[in-house]
Amino acid sequence: MRKYISIIVIIAAVAALCASCSGKKKVVMGTQYKCKECGEIYRDDTREIEVRREVADDVNVEVVEDYCPTCGDEVVVVEQIQYQICPVCEADRGAVTREIKIERKLADTLQREVEAPVPCPTGRCRRVSRLHEKYNWDWEFCKAVSSQEIGLGFNEDMVREAWGPPKRVEKMGNAKRWYYDAGYVTFGASGKAVEIK
Ligand SMILES: [Zn+2]
Ligand SMILES: [Zn+2]
C-alpha cells in the first residue's frame, strides 16, 4: 500500500513539474465596461486564454468607464451658460443660465458654455432679425438684404425684400429676368441670381 502511495506522489510531482515547464499560463484578457455612476461592471468582454508564460504579465484587462444603460438613460438637469451676442452688430447682450434636462450619457458631451444669437430689439438689428424670423436665412444674407444689397446666389425672396417687386419679368427658358429701373437680375434654373446688372 505504501508503495502505491509513493508511486502516486511521484506521478503527481512529475505532472506538476510538466505543467510548470510546459511554458503556458492561463490569463484573462479583454475589456470590461464599468459604470462611472453606480460602479457596476455592466458589460464584460473578457475571456480566459492560454499564453506563453513570459508574456503573461503583458496581458491585462482594460477597464472602460462609461455609464450602464440604467444610469445613462436617467434624465439629469445640467446648467448651461448662454452668452447672448447680437448676430447683427455683435453687441454683448449679457449671459443667461439655462437648465437643460438631458440623459446622463449625453450630458457629458453637452457644451456648458455656448454663444446664443440674440438680436438687439431696436433699429437695424431688429429689421435684420425680422427677416431672419420670417425666412430663416443665414444672418449674412439678412444683413445684406436689409441694406438693399444683393449678390450672386441670392434667391427671389431675397431680391424682392431688398429691391422690392420687379417692374417687369421676362421668361428665358428655364431662367428668368427681373427688370428694375436701375438694372436687372437674372435667375438661373435653380432660382438663384446668376447675373446682376
Ligand atoms: Zn450605473
Ligand atoms: Zn445689435
Residue 57's pLDDT is what? 87
For range 21-32, the mean pLDDT:
87
Ligand positioned closest to the Cα atom of 122: 2
Q: How far is the CA of 156 from the centre of ligand 2 (A)?
A: 26
Whole-number Å distance, alpha carbon 90 to ligand 2 midpoint, is: 6
Band (116; pLDDT cuts 50, 70, 90): very high
For 136-186, the pLDDT digits (tens) are 999 999 999 999 999 999 999 999 999 999 999 999 999 999 999 989 999
Q: For residue 72, which ligand has an atom nearest its CA?
A: 1
pLDDT per residue as tens digits for the range 37-96? 999 999 999 999 999 998 888 888 999 999 999 999 999 999 999 999 999 999 999 999
DSSP assignment string, the chain: -HHHHHHHHHHHHHHHHHHHHT-EEEEEEEEEEEETTT--EEEEEEEEEEEEGGGGGG--EEEEEE--HHHHHSEEEEEEEEEEE-TTT--EEEEEEEEEEEEHHHHTTS-SEEEEE---SSHHHHHHHHHHHHH---HHHHHHHHTT---TT-BHHHHHHHH-S-SEEEEETTEEEEE-SS-EEEE-TTSBEEEE-
Residue 190 pLDDT? 92
Q: Where are the domains of the chain?
A: 25-70
C-alpha 66 – ligand 1 centre gap (Å): 9
